[in-house]
Amino acid sequence: MAIPEFELIRRYFSSAWQQAPVPELCLGPGDDAAILQMSATDQLLVSVDTLNVGVHFLPDSPPERLAQRCLRVNISDLAAMGGEPVGFTLALSLPDVDSEWLAGFSQGLAAAAREAKCPLIGGDTTHGPLSMTIQVLGKVPAGQAIRRDGAQVGDLIYVTGTLGDAAAALQVMQAGSAQLSSENVDILLRAFYEPTMRIEAAMQLRGLATAGLDLSDGLISDLRHILTASSARSRSNLGAEVNVSALPVSSAFKQVFPEFQQQVERAVSGGDDYQLCVTVPAEKARQAESLMADLSVPFSRIGEIVTGEGIQFHNEQNEAVLIHTQGYQHFADSV
């Protein structure tokens, strides 16, 4: 029987931490990172992700760019919670020792680490299929982490940056790019391999955003996580209305997917965006928009949290738009 990733976690692991509780643990499995109380003023964020060849990246991916992607997508989890990176560990599985490949990989890893001010503090290497697991550590002022479970009716939904560029990049890598300029190809590949780490943006949104996460599996899947977590915490049914005409997409993305319906489908379900998706009370929206403008971070209002269930999509004329895809889910097609 197929079990999607988050149902697997809920069924088998979400309560495991409760079996051996420790007073320092403030938040266990289910969010972008765990939260542990380290002092009266600071909390520790801990997150881990694995990237496997053939699942998260193509076998011929350039090692320097692959390393950039590997660290950036992990740090994105800390950023989503308003955290400041402290350090990371790396577990690297290699099919063989290729000195040229390792030199490129280490250079890319170091470049991303310097940008995020997040040093490598330990790890492990082993022989096997190409795979990398990174655990990131960060800190946040006590009680100020942006969790998934705080959205309320009337909150406005925002995303940073543009959506769908990584999905367009994958299309280009698999099918070619004859119709694109070299500049647009570079824009898309950079979005896939070097997603922007929204560290400072999320830190500025602490105290303003009621809920948030980074968009890894696609807007439709990840926004649903906010609705599920917030509904459970508030013991009410929360839904969302999203204006597809407000979805921010790049001109390069539009060249790859020229049809409007195709643009909408890929923008909400393509995944690998690693942009922030946050909910903000209407009375704090102007302040949040101003802070993002000061950082030159594109910040698009795309919808609103409402009473109900699920996500309803509509266009500028308030006409319903049917979405056929549901976003990426690990194990959804497994038996």
Copy the structure tokens of residue 189.
Answer: 């590949």
216 annotated ligand-binding residue: yes
For residue 150, what are its two tokens? 């705080």
Tokens describing residue 24: 């320092």
Residue 123 labelled as part of a binding site:
yes
Q: Check the annotation: does 99 bind a ligand.
A: no
- Rounded CA-CA distance 14/56 in Å is 24
Is 239 annotated in a binding site? The answer is: no
Q: Is 49 annotated as a binding residue?
A: yes
Say if residue 303 carries a ligand binding annotation.
no
Give the Å distances, CA to CA, from 252 to 71, 97, 177, 243, 273. 25, 37, 11, 21, 15
47 is in an annotated binding site: yes
**Residue 45 in tokens:** 């964020």
Is there a binding annotation on residue 124? yes
Check whether 186 is labelled as a binding-site residue: no
Asked if residues 226 and 213 have their Cβ atoms less than 8 Å apart, the reply is yes
Alpha-carbon Rg for the chain in angstroms: 20
212 is in an annotated binding site: no
CA distance 279 to 233: 15
CB atoms within 10 A of CB 193: 21
Residue 13 CB neighbours (<10 A): 12
**Bridge partners of 140?**
43
Annotated binding site for substrate: 56, 272, 328
| Feature table: binding site for Mg(2+) | 32, 47, 49, 77, 124, 214, 217
Task: State the binding site.
Answer: 32, 47, 49, 56, 77, 123-124, 148, 214, 216-217, 272, 328
Question: Which residues make up each annotated binding site for ATP?
Answer: 123-124, 148, 216
